[in-house]
Amino acid sequence: MAFLQALRNFFVPSATRRIMVVEPAAATEYHVAALTPKHLNEVLYLNFRCFEDGENYTKHTFSYLLSQPNALCFQIATAANEMAGFLCVLVGQEGIAHITTIGVAPEHRRRGLAERMLGELDRSLTERGITSIVLEVRVGNTAAQSLYRACGFMVTQQISEYYNDGEDGYLMVKALSGQMAPGDISRHCEAA
């Protein structure tokens, strides 16, 4: 029986698996740290857990991101140094930072970890003289949109069928230190 159950679970569609109840992690301290190539396997595994819809990055993509000189990658880790979240950004030649991926482990969510990583990102980019951040988010991903709005991002454009499954995306932008208006940033992105 156990074997049959295991086999059935193996073929359960991801949409069914997603309604599994998540047991919140025990309370712990967290710290933000660099995400480097030595964390490749750990971040890859966490990314699979965060993006259950299959739209997650491959090992090759993370390997590329973690080795790019124009990339900024952070993790947020527990006191026991277990990775609880990650964030990767690419800075383009035009000086605009592009959030390529962000995720927090389900059992560590709603503890302000994504907000903390985005705050650290703001500080790092401002130090480097970067004035604006852009990202794309699924129109159906209301959790992430709430996060971005809470962190000062605004929707400037809806991008038709941006994702592989045909879902539209929103382009969201944020001006750091108020030096560039959101309209200017999205016009710049369209031109790029």
Ligand X SMILES: CC(C)(COP(=O)(O)OP(=O)(O)OC[C@H]1O[C@@H](n2cnc3c(N)ncnc32)[C@H](O)[C@@H]1OP(=O)(O)O)[C@@H](O)C(=O)NCCC(=O)NCCS
Instruction: Please work out the total of residues on this chain that contact ligand X, with binding judged by CB under 6 A.
Output: 19
Tokens linked to 182: 């959101």
Report residue 190 as tokens.
């369209």
106-125 footprint of ligand X as x/- string (CB under 6 A): ---xxxxxxx----------
Pick from 97, 164, 104: nearest CA to 125 = 97
Among 34, 143, 159, 192, the residue binding ligand X under the rule CB under 6 A is 143
Sole binder of ligand X in the list 103, 125, 173, 185 (CB under 6 A): 103
- Residue 140 is a binding residue for ligand X (CB under 6 A): no
All residues at 6 or more sequence positions from 3 whose CB lies less than 8 Å from its CB, including other chains: none
Which of residues 104 and 130 has its CB atom nearest to ligand X in the complex?
104
The stretch among 9-17, 36-44, 138-146, 173-181 that binds ligand X (CB under 6 A) is: 138-146
Assess 169 for contact with ligand X (CB under 6 A): no
Smallest distance, Å, CB 35 to ligand X?
15
Four-residue CA torsion sign, 65, 68, 70, 75: positive
- State which residue, 125 or 137, has the beta carbon closest to ligand X: 137
- Residue with smaller CB distance to ligand X, 109 or 174: 109
Nearest approach, Cβ of residue 150 and ligand X (Å): 4
150 binds ligand X (CB under 6 A): yes
Binding mask 51-90 for ligand X (x = CB under 6 A): x---------------------------------------
Distance of alpha carbon 109 from alpha carbon 145, whole angstroms: 15
By CB under 6 A, name the binding residues for ligand X: 50-51, 102-104, 109-115, 137, 141, 143-144, 146-147, 150
